[in-house]
Structure 1
Amino acid sequence: METVNDEIFRIDKLDYSDALIKASLFINATSSIFKGHFPGQPVVPGACMLQIVKEVLESAFGQSLQIKKAANLKFIAMIDPLKTTSVQLEISYKSIEDGISFTGKISNVDIVYFKCAATAVAINNT
């Protein structure tokens, strides 16, 4: 039986240094989520944009995280996966007393799609 990749995003490249993470992301236009969001005119759901920011943070930190507070979420432009197959993600972060404070931006060369400012805490998976 053939396995089908149904992920919306794939991290193609991940670079991080002190306080900055940069990722190149591939958008999978064949993901089944686009059959319902929206038929004939697919758009990457806003919740998925926030989720990919969290997943890239988890990859960089090597631990599961939970977003504790999202003070600022801005959905600036729609991502049409039939026209846009790759985007860039940039996350600036700093450690705070009970977790990580971060800002994130999903964009491509000339369009910003999403910006956020939030805090996350580690999830203890014991």
Structure 2
Amino acid sequence: MNWENNFYRIIQVAEGDNGFNSTVELMEKHPIYEGHFPFEPIVPGVCTLAIIRSCLSVYSDKNISFSKIKECKFISVIKPKAGLLISIDITFLKENTISAIVYNNDNTVLKLKATIK
């Protein structure tokens, strides 16, 4: 499912050393929060992974998917009421291997190492 411009919007993709940074805005009023969780909504982890994949696709201008997630650590949750902007740093480690770190309000949310195709 493509949630871009519905659940989130990629605001910026900026070239960096060995990778890039994306700034993403989450939409505050989205039905996904009614099920995850209605009185204390958080962004589902799988949605965060989908946003990373989408940023990779926008950056490379082709459809990217994860072929293997080697390491994925959820460190904290993204609460929309705490801030709607997230920042994603993506580094290309070697061919088809990336490292990604997701931030929300200077808090580290997720660390990921994966191979892409």
| TM-score strictly above 0.5 | yes
**1:74 partnered with 2:70:** no
Identity across the alignment (%): 25
Unaligned runs of 5+ in 1: 122-126
Q: Is the Cα contact below 8 Å between 2:83 and 2:105 reproduced in 1?
A: no
Q: Is the Cα contact below 8 Å between 2:78 and 2:104 reproduced in 1?
A: no
CA distance in 2, matches of 1:110, 1:13: 17
Alpha-carbon RMSD? 1.7
* Cα-to-partner distance string for 1:55-106 (whole Å, 9 max, x where unaligned): 100001011112100010011101111121111110001452xxx1101011
Q: How many residues align?
A: 114
CA distance in 2, matches of 1:75, 1:108: 12
Structure having the higher Rg: 1
Q: Is the Cα contact below 8 Å between 1:6 and 1:31 reproduced in 2?
A: no
Pairing of 1:75-90 with structure 2 (within 5 A) = 75-90=74-89
Q: Which residue of 2 aligns with 1:26?
A: 25
Pairing of 1:1-126 with structure 2 (within 5 A) = 7-17=6-16, 19-96=18-95, 100-121=96-117
Q: Is the Cα contact below 8 Å between 2:12 and 2:24 reproduced in 1?
A: yes
Please state how far the C-alpha of 1:36 moved relative to its aligned partner. 0.7
So what's the TM-score if we normalise by structure 2? 0.89
Please state how far the C-alpha of 1:7 moved relative to its aligned partner. 2.2
Please state how far the C-alpha of 1:19 moved relative to its aligned partner. 2.1
Q: Which runs of 4+ in 1 moved over 4 A?
A: none
